[in-house]
Structure 1
Amino acid sequence: MRTPTHPDGTILLFAPHPDDETLGCGGYLAKRLDEGRTVFVVVLTMGEKLFSKVLNIFEHPSPGEVCAIRRDETIRATGILGLAKENIIFLDYEDGSLADQVDTVVERIVPILQEKNPVEVLCTSEHEGHSDHRAACQIVRRACERVGTGILFRNYITSLRAGLSPENLPGTVEVVDIRKYLPLKRQALAQFRAHLDILSPRQPQPIATNFDNYLDPEERFLVTRDYAFPATGAREKWRGAPRV
């Protein structure tokens, strides 16, 4: 397991839902921001079905209210990690819909990649349990292929499908030591009150009791494919660098 030495340049982080960016790589995000890197977070869906899908609750809070709550939580959480509010882009697609509109979302993302010109892109992987997470990987990968120059692509991990672990995934797994940033990540995760609090009179208990399983001192990233090209335009496969 290895961790790359990153070049200077913009990082673009795609989150299928408001919170995935903090759950999967909040420590990495804080680390890169602390190093002075420019980071943009793109949240693909509104996450508005958290209560309706998980708890069958459609009012108090309504999906619209859940969307507003989760948007505010993400702004606060990433702000704790060091991200400026203006560096978050909310695309507001319907929760659970990404697999049904891959081409549409690709067309929306390509101009963002062209405008921000990132040297590094992060997203969830095709090995995740949630369909939006798998579709997000497909969407972002296709968009990177369209732009196709100078982009290093890697996947962060939130919740893999049953039976999978970082150790048995194909490809190279990078390990990033985030213990210096764990207090910040813990504080950021505490902002997700829609998961941790009882918000509805029909709710018997919180959706989650804690986020301790996301507070490992190391975050792992799967390298399955990259889009890194040298100045000559010939394809150059990334091989990795020493663990940090």
Structure 2
Amino acid sequence: MMAADYMRAAEALPLVSLDALLPEDGEVLVLAPHPDDEALGCGGLLAALAAAGRPAGVLILSDGAGSHPGSRRVPAPALRSMRAQEAARAVAALGLPAERLRLAGYPDGDVPASGPRLREAVSTILDLRPRTILSPLGLDPHKDHEASWAIAQDAAQCSGARLLAYPVWSWRYLYPEMGPGMPPLPPREWPGPPRGARLDITAFRDTKLRAVGEHRSQTSDLIDDDPDGFRLSEAALAVLQRPFEVYLEPVA
């Protein structure tokens, strides 16, 4: 199935409640390739889980220190610390206790997709004993997102946990304006049709917006001395902050 058709069908999946999406109790673990993916992809879900008193945690895989490589004012070590603090504030805004956030600390752009380091990441997840693992969809056109999906698949297979995917940059196949200045995505296929649901986050959308806003290095001109530094576009935020989030079952 072509990627754009897959995402168009995903956008039309049934709208459901939290209890319909996750009917069973048990630890829910969100894997985020970078600090901000947890809020962009799953902020509404995490806020809903926190409000319901259900256990949830976040494991951020990379340090995010590669988003502004040309900044002299905020070099990589300072940016690493800044992004960790932003993630802590975002998770707190969603209602999670501080200890529910964990940072794996892999270098930005080098989340392991295979080999011993992948097994190390999987071991970290298994120690947390999640009942459900959420990861960016492997269709996301970013190597750290693809690596996160590989880690999540391996961890789910080893643990028997349920695996759900959430799209972040996969939406670019449907909304190319999300990435101004980025090269066009080549045609790509993905197994389909999509299975899953859209989670209604209307009641928690403002909370999600606050959490996303805590990632100021990614959403504002906080770091203003790197003209090539990354910043989420208004078009990307418009897509990623709608009153629903999409969660997809793996398709072999």
Q: TM-score, normalised on structure 1?
A: 0.81
Residue 73 of structure 2 corresponds to which residue in structure 1?
60
Tell me how far apart the structure 2 counterparts of residues 194 and 178 of structure 1 sit (CA, whole Å). Answer: 25
Q: Provide Cα deviations, 1:65-120, integer angstroms capped at 9, x if missing partner.
A: 11111111111011000111111110100111125x52233322333333322111
Correspondence for 2:100 among 74, 78, 87: 87
Q: Give the whole-Å Cα distance in 1 for the aligned partners of 2:222 and 2:127.
A: 40
Distance between the aligned counterparts of 1:121 and 1:204, measured in 2? Answer: 34
Unaligned runs of 5+ in 2: 1-12, 176-189
User: Partners in 1 of 2:76 and 2:115 — Cα distance?
Assistant: 25
CA contact (8 A) 2:122 2:151 kept: no
Q: Deviations over 1:106-165 (max 9, x none)?
A: 322333333322111100111001111011101121122122x3x110001111175358
Contact 1:27 1:185 in 2 (8 A): yes
2:238 to 212, 231, 234: 212
Please point out which of 160, 163, 166 is paired with 1:153: 163
State percent identity of aligned pairs.
24
Find 2:62's aligned residue among 39, 42, 45: 45
Give the stretch that moved more between structures: 4-13 or 120-129.
Answer: 4-13
The answer to whether residue 202 in structure 2 is matched with residue 179 in structure 1 is yes
2-structure distance, mates of 1:20, 1:71: 13
The CA RMSD over aligned residues, in Å, is: 2.3
> Contact 1:16–1:132 at 8 Å: present in 2 too?
yes
Change (3 A) 1:116 1:67: same
Q: 2:49 aligns with which of 3, 11, 32?
A: 32
Aligned residues: 217
Indicate the larger mover: 104-113 or 86-95.
Answer: 104-113
| Residue aligning to 1:120 | 132
Alignment partner of 2:68: what SS? helix
Name which of 125, 142, 160 aligns with 2:154: 142
Structure 1 residue 221, shift from structure 2 partner = 1.1
Aligned to 1:242: none
Q: 1:70 to 1:13 in 2, by over 3 A?
A: same
Shift of 1:42: 0.5
Give the structure-2-normalised TM-score. 0.78
User: Which residue type is aligned with residue 155 of structure 1?
Assistant: A
**Alignment partner, residue 249 of structure 2:** 223
Q: Report the CA distance shift for 1:169/1:111 in structure 2 as closer, same or farther (over 3 A).
A: closer
Give 4+ residue runs of structure 1 displaced > 6 Å after superposition: none
Partner residue, 2:181: none
Q: Does 1:77 align with 2:101?
A: no
Quote the residue 2:25 is aligned against: 8
In structure 2, what is the equivalent of residue 191 of structure 1? 214
Distance in 2, Cα, partners of 1:44 & 1:5: 24
1:113 alignment partner AA: I
| Residues 33/141 of structure 1: CA separation in 2 closer, same or farther (3 Å cut) | same
Partners of 2:241 and 2:223 in 1: how far apart? 24
